[in-house]
């Protein structure tokens, strides 16, 4: 299938259902999620669905930004964004924690919170945007839509002059070279059980925008 240029759109809670479906498909084979939510145990798909549902619901309930790619009005790629002034505070919500306990269980919730805390400890000092979840639907991979998503995201984040860059993490070794090609620098590694989680930082997205102008 030829590469296609998707429409970039800021997403609100009206896209919550599509966002949950997309991110479930993006993360159901993710090695970090496989460890955190015990892929070897029955009910793994339900635990991933529940986790994505709770993260998306909490994100939109706090009116945090999300950016999406659409082709023929279908959401095929997206990223949840935590701005510098409100970054990565989602797990401080007791309501979110309780829903996670009820849907994924104590052990998986604790694994997720430990993972979250370990990634936070790797982050560089200063204000920046953090991407809790992002992905392109598996049906649309290999069409350079990931590059388009990150370019649109960097352009949007660059409008915040207080931000020094963008942070994301992945335990999927398949994506390491991809992120480096997009200008990300690895700033830390975290052991998540048998998984090595790589924390990446894209500095000064304002510079990237000026260069491409």
Half-sphere exposure of 31 (CA within 13 A, CB side): 15
Q: How confident is the model at residue 94 (pLDDT cuts 50, 70, 90)?
A: confident
Mean pLDDT of the chain: 88
* In the chain, % of residues over pLDDT 90: 69
pLDDT exceeds 90 at position 43: yes
The pLDDT of 46-51, averaged and rounded, is: 96
Residue spans per domain, the chain? 7-212
> CA 106, CA 101: separation in Å to the nearest integer?
5
pLDDT exceeds 50 at position 209: no
Residue 31's CB is within 10 A of a number of other CB atoms, namely: 19
> CA 60, CA 56: separation in Å to the nearest integer?
6
> CA 111, CA 125: separation in Å to the nearest integer?
25
Please name the fold of domain 7-212: Aminopeptidase (3.40.630)
Tell me the pLDDT tens digit for each residue of 117-166: 898 888 878 888 999 999 999 999 888 899 999 999 999 998 888 888 99
8 A C-beta contact, residue 149 and residue 134: yes
**The residue count for the chain:** 213
pTM of the model: 0.89
Q: Say what the pLDDT of residue 210 is.
A: 41
């Amino acid at each position: 299938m030829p590469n296609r240029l998707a429409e970039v759109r800021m997403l609100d809670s009206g896209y919550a259902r599509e966002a949950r479906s997309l991110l479930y498909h993006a993360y159901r084979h993710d090695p970090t999620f496989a460890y955190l939510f015990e892929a070897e145990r029955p009910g793994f798909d339900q635990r991933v669905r529940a986790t994505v549902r709770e993260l998306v619901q909490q994100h939109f309930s706090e009116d945090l930004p999300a950016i999406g790619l659409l082709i023929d009005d279908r959401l095929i790629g997206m990223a949840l964004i935590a701005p510098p002034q409100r970054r990565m505070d989602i797990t401080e919500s007791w309501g979110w924690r309780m829903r996670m306990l009820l849907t994924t269980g104590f052990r998986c919730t604790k694994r997720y919170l430990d993972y979250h805390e370990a990634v936070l400890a790797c982050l560089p000092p200063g204000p920046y945007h953090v991407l809790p979840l992002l992905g392109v639907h598996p049906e649309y991979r290999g069409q350079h839509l990931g590059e388009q998503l990150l370019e649109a995201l960097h352009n949007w984040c660059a409008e915040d002059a207080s931000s020094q860059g963008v942070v994301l993490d992945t335990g999927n070794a398949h994506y390491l070279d991809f992120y480096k090609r997009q200008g990300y620098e690895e700033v830390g590694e975290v052991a998540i059980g048998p998984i090595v989680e790589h924390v990446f930082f894209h500095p000064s997205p304002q510079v990237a925008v000026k260069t491409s102008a």
